[in-house]
Amino acid sequence: MPKCPNCGTEISCLNNYCSQEHKYVFCLVDDKPEYTEIRWYPTEHTNDYCCPECLEVIATSEDRAIRFLKGEL
């Protein structure tokens, strides 16, 4: 099992934090605002794979995260 290079904890999974944009429909229902989510779109701004223990970034792409978890890095 790979170890976090920052805290040394053995980990089998990573937390993935990614930026995304959401598309909503905004209406007034009985004079109250209502949002209905239509779709979300991942963006390229943030895609960090972090240690679940110390939260430090280990990889910034899915490919590198897979290689880390396989022990290839």
Instruction: Give pLDDT tens digits for 7-52.
Output: 999 999 999 988 778 788 888 889 888 988 887 776 666 789 999 9
Q: Which residue has the higher pLDDT, 44 or 63?
A: 63
pTM, entire model: 0.68
Residue type, 24: Y
Q: What is the pLDDT of residue 67?
A: 94
Give, in order, the Cα–Cα distances in Å from 42 to each of 19, 31, 35, 50.
6, 32, 20, 18
Q: Which residue has the higher pLDDT, 58 or 20?
A: 58
Residue type, 47: N
Per-residue confidence at 5, pLDDT binned at 50, 70, 90? Answer: very high
